[in-house]
Chain A
Amino acid sequence: MLVLQTLILGAAHGHTIAHAIERGSDDVLQIEHGSLYPALHRLENRGWIASFWGTSENNRKARYYRLTPAGREQLITQTARWDQVVRAIGRILKPASE
């Protein structure tokens, strides 16, 4: 979901995505950047993202990923569900803290 969210603004390559997630979460989600790739691969297999070879900002060959229509749809439903879950958890936690 996070990967899909980063791609909503446009195509990006693995390195960018990794850093985007890291920064976006205020460095809370510190991950080995490598573990991103199996995730990318899985998303691509499901047809939610597509990939192509391109050139990076500093002229390196890089593989770019972009969101497919199916991926966009998936992002919307998943975000909605996530919000629901978060709200539900929030409602459960709030009364308890009172």
Chain B
Amino acid sequence: MGWGRFFRRAKWDRERLEEIESYVEIETDENIARGMPVGEARAAARRKFGNSTRIREDIYRMNTIAYLDTLGRDVHYSLRTLRRAPGFTVIALLTIAIGIGANTAVFSVINSVLLRPLHYPRAAELVALRQVAPGAAGLASFSDGLRLSPSMYFTYSEQNRSFQSLGVWTTGTANVTGLAEPEQVRTVGISDGVLQALGVPPAAGRWLLRADQVPGGRETAMLSYGYWQRRFGGERSAIGRRILVDSRPREIVGVMPRGFQVVQAEADLIVPLGFERSKLPLAGFYLQGIARLRPGVTIARADADITRMLPIWMDSWSNGPGTNGRFFEAWRIAPAIRPLKQEVVGSVGNVLWVVMGTIGLVMLIACANVTNLLLVKAESRQQELAVRASLGAGWVRIVRVLLLESMLLGLMGGALGIGIAVGGLRLLVAIGPANLPRLGEISMDGRTLLFTVLLSLLSGLFFGLIPALKYAGPRISAVLRSAGRTQSVSRERHRARNLLVVAQVALALVLMVSAGLMIRTFQALQAVDPGFTGAAHLQTMRLSVPESLVASPEQVIRIQNSIVDKLAAIPGVTSAGFGSAMPMEGFDSGWNEIFAQDKIYPGGEFAPLRLFKYVSPGFFHTAGTRIVAGRDLTWTEVYGHRPVAMVSENLARELWGSPSAALGKRIREFPPMPWREVIGVIEDVHENGVHEKAPGIVYWPSMMDNIFGPSPLNVVRKMTFVVRSDRTGTEGFLNQVRQAVWSVNSSLPVASVRTMQEVYGQSLARTSFTLVMLGIAGAMALVLGVIGIYGVISYTVSQRRREIGIRLALGAPQGELRRMFVQYALVLAGIGVAIGLGAALGLTQLMKSLLFGISPMDPPTYAVVPVVLMAAAALAGYLPARRAASVDPTEALRAE
């Protein structure tokens, strides 16, 4: 049986018909020739031929695939039925389309972010070299464990047995001058081995190679595709050109292709790190490691390899004379290698799966609603179905017709849903957290479409099966006999619908509880004092004074000081200051062991690691960070490089019991450094976002004595400047800010211009994203649930009109009737709420990691949500109940 014939079967039939006609004509001619009258001749010819219809059917059947043919006819029939009930069809289609659309959109995100491999060749071999150091006290406040030091990189890359290639990288910023306006660009510094591990060939020119890593050699750089397009118009001639990076010339040797990232870092420039191998100490843990595993090597084996190399590292390098590398044994450093994808995706998987789960639940509720609609529809079609059955349609055939109809609904809904998903996806990307990894890669692909089609078919099956099995059953003759209007409705016929409504309410409760928990989390987060005030009135920007531009540290401080003065002089500015980073900015802060003079450290040399930041006088005042005890730094102390420091309140309490007790105490970094006196205690600042504990912080003046480096003074050249003003964010204000900076030095780019509100909002982005998604899901669930209850009650009312009429005629008070139906709604909702509460208690445990400050069994949420739902249910029951009570008894009875 060929498909060709199947599709040409109509044409065949026409041909056969013509052929039969031709036979009859010829035979008639002959009969006439034999002398028969015309009419008789034709009749005889037809007799001779036999039953032409049957013969045509025989031939037709030879050409067709019976199953497909009936399927086609059923599809046709179903479409006609759907068209005949446009109201039902539109509502059902919309419900399904929204459900499937939302699911498709969220699934595309999951697919793009979590399921698809990273954009590197053989990405499964790539790993992130992470390390933990449980023995290094204080390190726990750094979320990504112990990073690698340059000496570790050399040890690992030279001694390993597990990796094809291995490298380290770190992000930063640099000033590029000489092209247009001075510009601060994002950089990624890489060692040899990073590009080799990632394995992405350059779009033009060549990679940075080992020769580029030699310090003192030719200074080179690679461009990102975007920067190449932006600054060089994508010209090939850019290769070989020199640009001034931090006032030093670098030759452009290559361009990486569009979309290339070093792990999750989007950079404009890729520059070699250029370590001076002979001068490296053990310490300096600031690098992220990446490697490509050799084929067949597992992560466990690679971990073991690193463990083997750690003692080699401790013995091969030194932190200076008189120190012992084995000191790091106390840190208990251990490798924690993980797949690169996990590194890129991070913890966002949690959020996405929770969102997918909730949207899936919404889909279930939507399906339940459509099932309910179909049940009602099937009810009114019982007669039709019974007639079909009595005309000989088999039970299976009727089930098939009904299922086909629901599957068609599902598929058409799915098709519409894809349209909704495309729009939804755009919305999702727009409101999605900016720190959602792989945001740019989100798109729909074959897998998404497959998901949509499967979902459409499954949901079609789901909401079609119940009505199909219920109404295609063998009780058909009974229906025909008794389908009169006077038949009263049996309890049994309502059971399926009641069950569905109960399930809907239960699911809606779960979703609303989840959304409620997120709202409470958001409230809790906003209630946290972040350690600064009036974020909307704080303008921040990054300014960097490279050594090649201004060599003298004192000169740097003078420049920074005059910038602050100029900024403070702008009309409408109340104060200005600068620090090595604003809270939540995400810039790596420094940390080191901090010793207190009055404490005894067992082992003589080991103290907990502490975060530290550098600040200018007036920084805390500008940011609105309270000084709990003591006083702020003064410019005199900065210029005089006086040995002073400030500490955060929690650190003061930890070390000395109270903020005031900290004043006058002395602290320092590792031993040869001078002791510094604590002059102020600063309120706790949630440096890593309000959802993280405020770490203990030490604040140093931005210029200090330096006993190690080439210069006797140490100054911080990259600073975040902060300005408090009511005019933040306006273009005029930003212009004045830039002019103020450039009036001091016109080669300084003004970068990362943001208000603190944006920084703060971004740190809340994940929570607000989850909140919005769950909020939408919860609202949809509530609406669908209410519609479900409303539908059931109003259907019951319409079925029981007669009974209501009798009751009214017999003198039942209207209020009593209304109460009866509202009660019915409340009983249904009540059962649903009870089941839902149980389910919510279990399911919300899954979102524990997304919550803050509340438990998954937050009492207010669990108290409010059921009340809201019950109130909505009462309303949904009241509307049809009022209609019931207003039934005119004579009217209702006469209608029969």
Q: Are A63 and B22 in contact (CB under 8 A)?
A: yes
Q: Give the complex CA separation of A17 and B15 in angstroms.
A: 18
Q: Does the CB pair B19–A33 fall under 8 Å?
A: no
Are A38 and B49 in touch, CB under 8 angstroms?
no
Knowing A38-B55, A45-B5 touch, does A33 contact B62 (C-beta < 8 A)? no
Mark the stretch among A2-10, A54-62, A72-80, A89-97 that contacts chain B. A54-62
Q: Which residues of B contact A32 (CB under 8 A)?
A: 48-51
Whole-angstrom distance between the Cβ of A43 and the nearest chain B Cβ: 11
Known: A13-B22, A56-B26, A60-B26. A34 touches B16 (CB 8 A): no
Bound together, the chains give a CA A62 to CA B25 distance in angstroms of 9
Considering the complex, which residues of chain B in the window 50-66 have a beta carbon less than 8 Å from any beta carbon of chain A?
50-52, 54-55, 58-59, 62
Given A14-B23, A56-B26, are A37 and B16 also a contact pair (CB < 8 Å)? yes
Distance (whole angstroms) from the CB of B9 to the closest CB of chain A: 11
Q: State whether the Cβ of B27 lies closer than 8 Å to any Cβ in chain A.
A: yes
Shortest CB-to-CB span from A48 to chain B, Å, is 15
**A87: CB under 8 A from chain B?**
no
Q: Residue A23 at the B interface, CB < 8 A?
A: no
Q: Which of A13, A37, A62 touches B55 (beta carbons < 8 Å)?
A: A37
A41 CB-CB contact with B under 8 Å: yes
A38–B232 alpha-carbon span in the complex (Å)? 76
Distance of A13 Cα from B5 Cα, bound (Å)? 22
Q: Are B26's CB and A58's CB within 8 A?
A: yes
Chain A residues with CB under 8 Å of B54's CB are 34
What residues of chain A lie closer than 8 Å to B25, measured between beta carbons? 60
Q: Check B20 for interface membership: any CB of A closer than 8 A.
A: yes
What is the size category of the interface that chain A forms with chain B? 10 to 19
Which residues of B are found within 8 Å of A33, using beta-carbon distances? 23, 27, 48-50
Decide: B29 and A34 in contact? CB cutoff 8 A: no
Query: How far is it, in angstroms, between the C-alpha of A32 and the C-alpha of B49 when the chains are bound?
Result: 5
Instruction: Give complex CA distance A60, B27 in Å.
Output: 11
> For B19, what are the chain A residues with a Cβ–Cβ distance below 8 Å?
14, 37, 62-63
The answer, among A14, A42, A58, for a CB contact under 8 Å with B29, is A58
Known: A32-B49, A33-B50, A35-B50. A15 touches B26 (CB 8 A): yes
The answer to whether A15 and B59 touch across the interface, beta carbons within 8 angstroms, is no
> Which B residues touch A58, using CB under 8 A?
26, 29
A62 touches B49 (CB 8 A): no
**Closest CB of chain B to A23's CB: distance in Å?**
13
**In whole angstroms, how far apart are the Cα atoms of A34 and B57 in the complex?**
12
Give the chain B neighbours of A56 by CB distance below 8 A.
Answer: 22, 26
CA distance A38 to B23 in the complex (A): 14
Q: Write out, one digit per residue, whether chain B residues 724-767 have a CB within 8 A of any chain A CB (1) or not (0).
A: 00000000000000000000000000000000000000000000
Task: Assess A34 versus B22: contact at CB under 8 Å? Given A15-B27, A58-B29, A60-B29.
Answer: no
Indicate which residue in A13, A14, A41 contacts B59 across the interface (CB closer than 8 Å): A41
Contact at B58–A38, with CB atoms within 8 Å?
Answer: yes
- Chain B binding surface SS class: helix
Q: Give the shortest distance, in Å, between A47 (CB) and chain B (any CB).
A: 11
B1-13 near A? 1/0 per residue, CB < 8 Å: 0000100000000
- Which B14-50 residues sit within 8 Å CB-CB of chain A? 15-16, 18-20, 22-23, 25-27, 29, 48-50
Chain A residues with CB under 8 Å of B18's CB are 61, 63
Once bound together, how far apart are the Cα atoms of A56 and B25, in whole Å?
11
Q: Name the residue on A nearest B1 (C-beta).
A: A45
Considering the complex, give the chain B residue whose CB is closest to the CB of A58: B29
CB distance from A7 to the nearest CB of B (A): 16
- Residue in A37, A42, A60 whose CB lies within 8 Å of B20: A37
Q: Are A34 and B55 in contact (CB under 8 A)?
A: yes
Q: CA of A63 to CA of B59 in the docked complex: distance in angstroms? A: 16
With a cutoff of 8 Å between Cβ atoms, the chain B residues found around residue A13 in the complex are: 22, 26
| A34-B26 contact, Cβ under 8 Å, with A41-B62, A45-B62 | no
Chain A residue, CB-CB nearest to B53: A34
- B76-96 contacts to A, CB under 8 A, are none
A15 to B54 alpha-carbon distance, docked (Å): 18
A58 to B16 alpha-carbon distance, docked (Å): 20
Known: A45-B5, A63-B15. A37 touches B59 (CB 8 A): yes
Residues of A within 8 A of B22 (CB): 13-15, 56, 60-63
Q: Which of B5, B15, B20 contacts A34 (CB 8 A)?
A: B20
The minimal Cβ–Cβ distance linking B525 to chain A, given in whole angstroms, is 75
A60 to B15, CA, bound (A): 15
CB distance from A59 to the nearest CB of B (A): 9
Query: In the complex, A15→B58 CA distance in Å?
Result: 19
B59/A38 in contact, CB under 8 A: yes
Task: Provide the bound-state CA to CA distance between A42 and B27, in Å.
Answer: 23
Contacts of A18 in B (CB 8 A): 23
Contacts of B15 in A (CB 8 A): 63
A41→B58 CA distance, assembly (Å): 10
Contacts of A35 in B (CB 8 A): 50, 55
| List of A residues within 8 angstroms of B26 by Cβ | 13, 15, 56, 58, 60, 62
Q: Please report the C-alpha to C-alpha distance between residue A32 and residue B62 in the assembled complex, in whole angstroms.
A: 19
- Which of A32, A41, A56, A62 gathers most chain B CB within 10 Å? A41
Instruction: List residues of chain A with CB within 8 A of the CB of B29.
Output: 58, 60
Q: Which 5 A-B pairs have the closest CB atoms?
A: A32-B50, A34-B50, A34-B49, A15-B26, A38-B58
Q: List 23 A-B contacts (CB under 8 A).
A: A13-B22, A14-B23, A15-B26, A32-B51, A33-B27, A33-B49, A33-B50, A34-B23, A34-B49, A34-B50, A34-B55, A37-B55, A38-B58, A38-B62, A41-B16, A41-B59, A41-B62, A42-B62, A45-B5, A58-B26, A63-B15, A63-B18, A63-B22
Task: Given contacts A34-B23, A34-B52, A38-B62, list 11 more A-B pairs with CB under 8 A.
Answer: A14-B19, A15-B27, A34-B49, A34-B55, A37-B55, A38-B58, A38-B59, A60-B22, A62-B26, A63-B15, A63-B18
Instruction: Spell out A's residues near B (CB within 8 Å).
Output: 13-15, 18, 32-35, 37-38, 41-42, 45, 56, 58, 60-63
